[in-house]
Amino acid sequence: MPAFGFVADDLTGAADVLAQSHRYGLDAALVIGDAPLPTDTDVVGFAGPARSLSGTAFDNLVIRDLAGIAALNLDVLLYKVCSTFDSSTTVGSIGRGIQLLHQQFPLHGPIPVAPAQPGFGRYTAFSNHYANYAGKTYRLDRHPVMSRHPSTPWPRRTCARSWPNSSAAPRCLRRSICQPMRTALSRTPGRNGAGISGPRLLSLTPWTNTRWMPSQKP
């Protein structure tokens, strides 16, 4: 039975999950569409085009995939997004994705948000997110590309200030945390924790940084 699951908002992010899982000796499988999830791997998840969707189409896809992954008794669930945080009110809303996570797993509290991906030149410090471009590192609101992205421009300095603009229901963000990877990946209780159902940790995070996984594989 898988211990780790993911729902990715695009195929490239999902492929990175597979690559990093295999890098650390874990068997992984990816499902596209509504096919049944395999149960004979360490890692399993869905990938879809949520990053490019909006409105009802976004909701229907994410709700379907979260419901499918919730049927498994996972230790960890990742909602995998692009490490440059491509998101807006109308397209690929990460804030809306967080709200749908809360709806699917109502017994969980804050959802750690960990965008850092040092392997790809993405860094987070004190809720400020940075990305490399042409050999230099820029905060996203000053990034030559992401600050002017035609669909999902990054308008504010910090994650906390920007995300209310990417969600139809900003209140959900008050229950979430934008913080560095080290805090977000603290080990959580075992599968039989009293009063909690579903995965022990919900995290928006690139998979590459989860270097603790081999030593803590169930």
* Domain parsing of the chain, residue ranges: 4-216
Secondary structure element (H or E) that encloses residue 195, with its range: none
Which pLDDT score, from 0 to 100, does residue 158 have?
A: 61
The SS3 call for residue 171 is helix
CA 25-31-33 angle, 5° bins? 165
The tens digit of pLDDT for each residue in 178-205 reads: 333 332 332 333 333 333 334 443 444 4
Least confident piece of the model among 7-16, 26-35, 73-82, 199-208 = 199-208
Q: Which pLDDT score, from 0 to 100, does residue 159 have?
A: 62
* Mean of pLDDT values over 146-158: 74
Q: DSSP code of 214?
A: G
Higher pLDDT, 86 or 136: 136
Higher-pLDDT residue of 196, 84: 84
Cα dist from 157 to 73, 138, 139, 161, whole Å: 38, 11, 7, 7
State the pLDDT at residue 203: 42
The CATH class of the 4-216 domain is alpha beta
CA trace torsion 176, 181, 183, 187 (10° rounding): 100
Report pLDDT for 116. 81
For residue 44, pLDDT over 80 is answered with: yes
Q: Mean pLDDT score of the chain, rounded to an integer?
A: 75
State the pLDDT at residue 45.
95
Closest alpha carbon to 116 in 105, 127, 100, 102: 127
What is the structure's pLDDT at 69?
Answer: 94
pLDDT band of residue 168 (cuts 50, 70, 90) is very low
87-110 pLDDT, tens digit each: 777 888 888 998 999 999 988 888
pTM score of the predicted model: 0.74
Query: What was the pLDDT predicted at 90?
Result: 82
